């Protein structure tokens, strides 16, 4: 009989292993971690923690954040291995990166692959979009400097879009005037 159950991928398996690793490294029994989970506002029975560690139960993102808090370890450390930087890490069933590239990608330092047209703009755009507005002013300044130095034009399909400065903000428009992107304000709103 066919099943519609979602099969765990490589990251789910690694998260289960990392939770067990950090629980043991902290000297916690599953009942201790259960108590910590209740303290952070996400109650979880010891039997559920056991199922997670064995890979018999999937974790939703709220569980993952709470486990990160309860184990007192960064969220990415539950998602990724601390291994040789050149070791290959499966992120999905079809995406494998070096451990260093995986960490840099998920930390918001660089995308998983380079842009084909504007390598630097793509890198800076990724960094800018990966940060909260209160933490990206230096990145925004770098990004705008790159834009000022570049021709501010690139191919999009068979149209060319261009960057222009309007009311002190950079706006990316097609020749027909269609707005593709507007630099966000300090709160992250694009007007």
Band of pLDDT at residue 177, cut at 50, 70 and 90: confident
In this prediction, residue 48 has a pLDDT band, given cuts at 50, 70 and 90, of very high
**Which helix (H) or strand (E) covers residue 89, if one does?**
strand 88-90
Q: What is the pLDDT of residue 155?
A: 43
pLDDT above 90 covers a percentage of the chain that reads 47
Token pair 């960064």 in the structure block, residue: 74
The reply to whether the predicted model has a pTM over 0.75 is: no
Predicted confidence (pLDDT) per residue in 7-36, tens digit:
888 999 999 999 999 999 999 999 999 999
Higher-scoring residue by pLDDT: 42, 151: 42
- For residue 169, what pLDDT is reported? 79
Structure tokens at 167: 């009311």
The mean pLDDT of 79-94, rounded to a whole number, is 91
- DSSP character for 133? G
The strand pairing partners of 153, in sequence order, are 162
Q: How confident is residue 151, by pLDDT bands cut at 50, 70 and 90?
A: very low
The 10s digit of each residue's pLDDT in 120-142 is: 567 777 888 888 877 777 767 77
pLDDT at 188: 45
- What residues form DSSP beta bridges with 181? 172
Confidence tier at 62 by pLDDT (50, 70, 90) = very high
Highest mean pLDDT among 27-36, 81-90, 138-147: 27-36
pLDDT for 2 beyond 80: no
Look at residue 64 and tell me whether its pLDDT is greater than 80.
yes
In whole angstroms, give the CA distance from residue 140 to residue 129.
Answer: 10
Residue 13, both tokens: 């398996």
For 166, which DSSP code?
E
Give me the pLDDT at residue 145, please: 67
Which residue, among 11, 13, 12, 35, has the nearest Cα to 23 in the 3D structure?
35
């Amino acid at each position: 009989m066919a099943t519609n159950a979602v099969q765990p991928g490589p990251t789910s398996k690694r998260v289960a292993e990392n939770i067990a690793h950090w629980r043991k490294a902290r000297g916690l029994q599953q009942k201790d971690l259960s108590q910590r989970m209740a303290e952070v506002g996400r109650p979880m029975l010891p039997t559920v923690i056991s199922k997670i560690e064995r890979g018999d139960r999937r974790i939703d993102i709220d569980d993952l954040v709470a486990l990160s808090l309860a184990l007192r370890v960064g969220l990415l450390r539950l998602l990724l291995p601390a291994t040789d930087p050149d070791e290959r890490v499966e992120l999905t069933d079809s995406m494998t990166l070096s451990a260093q590239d995986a960490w840099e990608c998920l930390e918001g330092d660089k995308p998983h692959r380079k842009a084909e047209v504007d390598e630097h703009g793509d890198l800076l755009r990724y960094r800018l979009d990966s940060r909260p507005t209160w933490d990206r002013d230096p990145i925004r300044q770098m990004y705008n400097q790159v834009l000022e130095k570049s021709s501010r034009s690139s191919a999009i399909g068979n149209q060319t879009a261009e960057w222009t400065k309007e009311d002190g903000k950079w706006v990316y428009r097609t020749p027909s005037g269609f707005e593709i992107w507007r630099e966000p304000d300090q709160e992250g709103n694009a007007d």
